[in-house]
């Protein structure tokens, strides 16, 4: 897997009961949709935000970076509300807090698929 972009994915804890993340894994490893600019990627971690209001997302994002992630994607459940159509009310605040904590050299994607 040498040379592949290393991806960390943060998902909504409320959605994990309904979605195993299969499509997030598929599009990341195949370099599709949100990952089209990166080609085939390696997933280094798949974590939840920790539950509302998403305060645990910051240390979890740092953990993903510590494990090699150079791109962190919010699973589509957070900003798009997939699969139930309910967008996270804390998504923007969570995004801003993570970006501030990890810096601009780590890319944050607002969706996966």
Number of domains composing the chain: 1
Q: Is the dihedral angle over the CA atoms 85, 90, 92, 95 positive or is it negative?
A: negative
> Residue 2: its pLDDT value, please?
66
Residue-level pLDDT at 1? 47
106/20 Cα distance (integer angstroms): 25
- The CATH number covering residue 100 comes to 3.40.50
The predicted pLDDT at position 84 comes to 85
Angle in degrees, CA 100, 103, 107, rounded to 5: 110
State the pLDDT at residue 45: 98
Cis peptide before 83 (omega within 30 of 0): yes
User: Model's pTM, two decimal places?
Assistant: 0.95
Phi-psi region of 79 (alpha: psi -120 to 50; beta: other; left: phi over 0): alpha
Average confidence (pLDDT) per 10 residues, the chain, 113 residues: 88 93 97 98 98 95 98 97 92 97 95 97
Helix and strand counts by DSSP (H, E) for the chain: 4, 4
Paired strand residues for 99: none
**Which residue in 101, 74, 76 sits closest to 86, CA to CA?**
76
Domain limits for position 49: 5-109
């Amino acid at each position: 897997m040498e040379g592949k972009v290393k991806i960390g994915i943060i998902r909504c804890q409320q959605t994990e009961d309904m979605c195993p993340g299969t499509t997030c894994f598929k599009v990341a490893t195949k370099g599709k949709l949100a990952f089209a600019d990166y080609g085939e990627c390696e997933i280094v971690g798949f974590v939840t935000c920790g539950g509302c209001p998403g305060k645990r997302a910051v240390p979890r994002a740092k953990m993903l970076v510590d494990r090699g992630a150079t791109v962190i994607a919010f699973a589509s459940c957070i900003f798009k509300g997939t699969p139930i159509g309910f967008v996270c009310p804390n998504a923007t605040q969570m995004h801003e807090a993570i970006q501030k904590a990890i810096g601009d050299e780590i890319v944050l994607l607002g969706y996966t698929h």
